[in-house]
Amino acid sequence: MLELHVEGMTCGHCVRAVTEAVHTVIAGTPVAIDLPSGTVRIANAEASDTAKITAAITEEGYTVK
């Protein structure tokens, strides 16, 4: 499991956008997002996936910390 902190998510559209971005890297993997904390938990992801997932989320306009 990989856990990231993503800034700029405020609504359901943001959740869908970030989930779809993750799925461009690891298709169909479960993604759990907590909007208030900005936490994104990605099942079946490894540390080696971090750069690709971060790039995909950043392309959607969000900041990964």
pLDDT of res. 37: 98
pLDDT of res. 18: 99
1 pLDDT tier (thresholds 50, 70, 90) = very high
pLDDT of res. 12: 97
- Order of all β-strands in the sheet with 39-42: 31-34, 39-42, 2-7, 63-64
Please report where in the chains the tokens 């971060």 appear, as a residue.
54
Where do the domains of the chain lie, and which CATH numbers do they carry?
2-64 (3.30.70.100)
pLDDT in tens, 9-65: 999 999 999 999 999 999 999 999 999 999 999 999 999 999 999 999 999 999 999
Query: Can you give the pTM of this predicted structure?
Result: 0.95
